[in-house]
Structure 1
Amino acid sequence: MTGTGDADAGEQFENLDCSAVIADVWIMLDNECDEASRARLQKHIDECGSCFEAYGIEEKVKKLISRKCGGDQAPAGLRERLSVEIRRTVLIRQTDAD
Structure 2
Amino acid sequence: MNQESQDCADYLERIVYLIDNELDEADCSVVRAHLEECGPCLHKYDLERTVKAVVARSCSESAPDGLRQRVLVQLRQVQVQITEG
What TM-score comes out, normalization by structure 2 length? 0.62
- Aligned-residue Cα RMSD (Å) equals 1.7
Which residue number in structure 2 is paired with residue 28 of structure 1?
A: 18
Higher relative contact order (CA 8 A, sep 6+): 1
Rg larger in structure = 2
How many residue pairs match? The answer is 56
**Distance in 2 of aligned mates of 1:56 and 1:38:** 15
Q: Give the letter for the 2:39 counterpart.
A: G
Q: Deviations over 1:29-82 (max 9, x none)?
A: 0101100000000000111011011001001011011101129xxxxxxxxxxx
Ranges in structure 2 where 5+ consecutive residues have no aligned partner = 1-5, 62-85
What TM-score comes out, normalization by structure 1 length? 0.54
Ranges in structure 1 where 5+ consecutive residues have no aligned partner = 1-15, 72-98
Shift of 1:23: 0.9
Structure 1 stretches (4+) deviating beyond 4 angstroms? none
